[in-house]
Amino acid sequence: MVIAATFAFNSFAEDKESKKAAAFGTGIFASNSGKIHVNVDKYTSDKAVVVITNRSGATYYRETIGRDTDKFRKTFNVNELPAGTYTIQVSANGQKTEKDFEVAESRTERQISIK
């Protein structure tokens, strides 16, 4: 009976950990005009950090969202970024969300016709 009670309390503790409240919610999406929109809704008074890096780990953008800010909205014009794969990471209170996006150059091909 003692073993069963110990197992029950351990299971309850694990369930409590897994149901920990989220520190933030995000909406990250691209528009047709070549912009990336990042929306962060913070649910705690903790600071949050938004970072954009490339595959090599170079940081292109970093901003700390203060304790007093509940809603963060930012639009990034990525037309000036070099072609490559990038990651947007939002983190707060030990939790993080990552989204990858790719910037590709489209080349216009010239065609020649003789008539």
CATH number at residue 96: 2.60.40.3080
Please indicate whether residue 70 or residue 105 has the higher confidence score (pLDDT). Answer: 70
**What tens digit of pLDDT does each residue of 17-72 get?**
444 578 899 999 988 888 999 999 999 999 999 999 999 999 999 999 999 999 99
| Coil vs helix vs strand at 61 | strand
Residues in the chain: 115
Q: Average pLDDT in the 98-110 region?
A: 83
**Secondary element (H or E) of residue 65:** strand 59-65
Taking the C-alpha atoms of residue 102 and residue 47, their distance in angstroms, rounded to an integer, is 28
Domains held by the chain: number: 1
Domain that holds residue 88: 30-103
